[in-house]
Structure formats: C-alpha cells, structure tokens
Amino acid sequence: MGNNAEKIKIIRNPLALQKFSKRMLAQGKSIGLVPTMGALHKGHISLVEMSVKNNDITIVSIFVNPTQFGANEDFAKYPRRLQSDAKLCSEAGADIVFAPQPKDMYPSPLQTFVHNPALETFYCGKYRPTHFAGVLSVVAKLFNIALPGRAYFGEKDFQQLHLIRKMADDLNFPVKVIGAKTIREKSGLAMSSRNEYLSPRERAAASSIYAGLLEAKKLYMQGEVSVAKLKGVVEKKIKQAGEKIQYIEIVDKNDLMPVGARVSQKAVILLACYFGKTRLIDHVEL
C-alpha cells in the first residue's frame, strides 16, 4: 500500500473481506457498501459520505468489472488509479477499500449470471446486450462478499439502479438499496468517470444534454404531455450541439415501461448520446 492511502485498509481477497464483514456483524456493527469502478469523483464521494453518516463501517469496492463491458467497449482504457482513489475514500471517512483483481472475483469463468429478461434489453440494454447481466451478477457477488445492510448507488445510472433494486427485492437480499441524486458539474453535465474522455470542446457541448432535459421538464410543468413533443425538445438541443443521439425514451418511474404517446403518470426521461466517441447517459424526472 502506498503512502497516499496509508490511513485506509485495502483488501483484495473476497474471502478476507467476507470474514471481516462477518466479524463486524457479529459485533453488532452496521455495514454500508459503495460499489464503484474507481476513477472517483464528487458523485462517488457523496455516496461514501452518505454511507459513513448512516453506518458503523463503510466499504468502497473499486473494481473495473470485465463482465459488464461489451466486445468493443472501453474496458482496457477505463481509468484505473487505486492509490489516489483510496486516499479520497479515506478522506471521506470510509474504513475499507475492496480492490480485487478480475482473477480474484472470477477464479474460473463466470457461468452463472443474474438476468432481468423483462428489462435488461430495453434502453441502454438494447445497445449493450450483455451489460446488465454483468452488472447484476457482480453486484450480487459484492452483496454476498461485503454483507452490507445498505448499498449506495447514483441515480445517474437510472436503469441500473432500478434493476439492482428489483434484484435485491426479487432475490431477498437483506440489503436496502439507496439511490442518491446525480451530482453535476457547473455546466449541468452529470459527473461521470467517462467525462475524462471528452475534449474541451466536447465537454462544453455536452452541457446541451441537461439543458435539453430541463427544457422538456419546464414544458411538461407548463402542461405539455405529448411524448413526441417532449422528446423533440431534448433531441433538438443535443443535435444543435452537433452530436449523435442513441436513444431518448420517456418511461414510467415505477416500472421503467414506456409511457405511450402521452405522459399520464410519474415519468422519467432517459437518454444516451455520443459526444465524439464518448457515450454519456442522463435522465430527468418529470
């Protein structure tokens, strides 16, 4: 362990972490888990601080999970900086950083996956077909290894959060899954580790995502319920910035199903788009 992270314990072995968690639970201590892929930013740190406030022990997992990346995605170039991430976790009050290698998490090829056939092929899943099975499977493993009573996720990944909540519910994990509001840069761009890939020009243009979402929300608040018109406002804003939209959908907040032609219930606008080669996602609740 380097000097940067000297205050915090880094555990790499899943069995060692599980033993630690069992010991803490036997002492009556509560455990909070913040699953991450590292390259931590203020959004992640807000989750760590929330966990520290509400639990006796906070574990932050830092693991770039290979099973959730598709064939031509950015697994190899995803930013990895364990020592500086561990320092940030320590400063935020976390107790343990769990930083396994792929061979620790998958000593043999993973054959048993957690699926949600109803929702994993919608929205992001349509374009990243193996993604959510990889996410749900690794989160299930993390729940079984770290044994948390509470687990913290950002709402930016809105579909992911919904699927993890459903998994915890459907499979009786004794974990309360807590979502936290998206933390944004001054421009409105949702904080993401992938923002590092953006050029200065792309980063400036990417502020159009949230601007479009807010414009649609304002229109909705003024009484507009046509899905086509609300989506059109967002689309126009992003295309003015000259960027490629992968999808814009308006979905029921509770079950993530498309709302149809008109918004008549609590709904969320979900979208994914490309700025240069960087895929960004965002959402806004109506």
- Alpha carbon distances (Å) from 226 to 88, 211, 215, 237, 263: 44, 19, 14, 17, 7
- Alpha carbon distances (Å) from 151 to 10, 48, 68, 144, 242: 19, 10, 19, 12, 38
Q: Which alpha helices (DSSP H) does 92-157 contain, by range?
A: 102-105, 124-127, 131-146
What number of CA atoms fall less than 13 Å from residue 19's CA on the CB side?
6
Question: Is 283 annotated in the active site?
Answer: no
Pairing assessment for the beta strands 31-36 and 150-154 based on DSSP bridges: parallel
- Among residues 41, 44, 131, 283, the one annotated as catalytic is 44
Q: What is the separation of C-alpha 267 from the centre of its chain, rounded to a whole number of angstroms?
A: 19
Residues forming the active site: 44
